[in-house]
């Protein structure tokens, strides 16, 4: 117990200064021998005193000391609890800081109240600039609105949330990530906020795209394969059925391809197929589809293009193949293409029917000397 004399005229300043000096762990009793107005009691407590004595007798002092002991015990218990919480928080922070996965915590107002070093590194921002900030402080407005909408939906559902997104890494790379988030609840089911983790799935997404590409592309020419062509054609058919939209389809065959393989070898034949595929795709137009049907045969689909307009495009494709792919020294047409073209009406026929008509036109082109275009009836 320590006694400090305080002058009446500076009682308020003295109490305040003592509180600052002794700290919150001390139990400060203002002992006033003079009669002061009742407003001084409230003022003394407001300034930092824990108790005020005016009647200095043994019983009153005993009661005051009892209150002081109980008060100090409560302070010690609170300090112990705070120390335990601080220890647990430091332990938790150390744990998540050693994890490579970016982790973050937000309160119900959407303010970041915790994160690990990986999260700060991912954003490329110091930790102290993240804590106390909202997503609007650390992300462009459009992205921030999207993230906030996801958080609002999570609060409404009250459960967990997993979704994929693209984010810009602090090094400037665009990365594919998976957000895993959950609402944090207390024991009585009160909502504290959101806990989240960011899993970088860029490598996985690239592998998925490679696998999808491998399933859709011809391994030799990298053109769409037959299976993908029919998938895209079904989408075009559905689109054409919903309105008066023309569609044309072509069957394209490389001329004298067996001669090329027999005379120059299969390696040169493969080179011819790759070059033909590249030329057909480059000259087909942006919205038109070219696929390798198999062997030396290709399909082309022209959505929204009439038979007359498709004939102009297909004949330009034929001329460009002749220009870049013809194999001199074998025959006049080796490496060129013959084309059969048909109008396709998804409302009245199947794609197979249209391809059969185009195929008949193709054989007509072959019989009439190759390296030409013929239209189906």
DSSP string, 30-91: EE--S---HHHHHHHHHHT-SEEE-S--HHHHHHHHHHHHHHHHHHHHHHHHHHHHHHHHHH
**Contacting residues for 299 by C-beta, under 8 A, at least 6 apart:** 226, 229, 249, 250, 251, 252, 289, 290, 291, 292, 293, 355
Give the separation between CA 317 and CA 283, rounded to whole angstroms: 6
Distance CA 291, CA 354 (A): 16
> What pTM did the predictor assign?
0.58
Structure tokens at 224: 């769409």
Whether CATH 1.10.3720.10 fits 217-375: no
Residue 10 DSSP symbol: G
What CA–CA distance (Å, rounded) separates 333 from 325? 10
How confident is the model at residue 13, as a pLDDT? Answer: 76
Nearest CA to 343 out of 247, 255, 223 is that of 247
Architecture of the domain delimited by 99-205: 2-Layer Sandwich (3.30)
Pairing, β 373-375 against β 337-344: parallel
Domain edges within the chain: 8-90, 99-205, 217-375
Q: What are phi and psi of 161, to 5 degrees?
A: -145, 130
d(CA 4, CA 14): 9
Measured CA to CA, the distance from residue 216 to residue 224 in angstroms comes to 6
* Closest C-alpha among 130, 68, 74 to residue 103: 130
Q: Which residues contact 4 (CB under 8 A, 6 or more apart)?
A: 14, 18
Mean pLDDT in consecutive groups of 10 residues from the start of the chain, 377 residues: 60 76 76 67 75 72 77 76 74 81 92 92 89 90 88 90 84 87 83 91 88 89 95 94 92 96 94 96 94 97 96 97 92 95 94 96 96 94
């Amino acid at each position: 117990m320590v006694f400090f004399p305080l002058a009446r005229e500076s009682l308020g300043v003295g109490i305040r200064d003592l509180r600052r000096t002794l700290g919150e762990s001390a139990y400060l009793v203002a002992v006033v021998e003079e009669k002061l107005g009742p407003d001084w009691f409230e003022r003394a407590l407001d300034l930092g005193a824990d108790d005020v004595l005016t009647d200095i007798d043994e019983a009153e002092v005993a009661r005051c000391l009892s209150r002081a002991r109980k008060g100090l015990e409560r302070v010690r218990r609170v300090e112990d609890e705070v120390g335990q919480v601080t220890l647990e928080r430091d332990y938790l922070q150390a744990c998540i800081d050693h994890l490579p996965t970016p982790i973050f915590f937000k309160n119900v107002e959407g303010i970041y109240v915790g994160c690990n070093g990986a999260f700060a590194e991912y954003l490329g921002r110091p930790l102290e600039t993240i804590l106390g900030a909202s997503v609007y402080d650390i992300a462009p407005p459009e992205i921030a609105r999207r993230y906030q909408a996801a958080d609002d939906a999570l609060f409404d559902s009250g459960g967990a949330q997993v979704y994929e997104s693209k984010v810009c890494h602090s090094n400037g790379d665009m990365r594919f990530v998976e957000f895993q988030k959950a609402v944090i609840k207390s024991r009585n089911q009160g909502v504290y906020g959101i806990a989240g983790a960011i899993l970088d799935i860029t490598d996985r997404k690239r592998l998925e795209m490679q696998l999808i590409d491998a399933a859709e592309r011809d391994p030799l020419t990298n053109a769409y394969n037959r299976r993908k062509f029919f998938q895209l054609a079904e989408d075009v058919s559905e689109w054409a059925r919903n309105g008066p939209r023309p569609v044309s389809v072509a069957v394209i065959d490389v001329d004298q391809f067996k001669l090329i393989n027999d005379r120059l070898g299969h390696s040169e034949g493969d080179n011819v197929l790759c070059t033909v595929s590249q030329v057909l795709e480059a000259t087909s137009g942006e919205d038109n589809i070219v696929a390798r049907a198999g062997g030396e045969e290709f399909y082309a689909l022209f959505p929204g293009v009439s038979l007359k307009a498709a004939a102009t495009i297909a004949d330009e494709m034929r001329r460009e193949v002749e220009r870049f792919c013809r194999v001199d020294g074998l025959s006049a047409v080796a490496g060129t293409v013959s084309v059969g073209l048909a109008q396709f009406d998804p409302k009245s026929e199947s794609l197979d029917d249209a391809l059969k008509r185009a195929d008949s036109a193709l054989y007509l082109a072959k019989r009439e000397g190759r390296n030409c275009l013929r239209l189906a009836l």
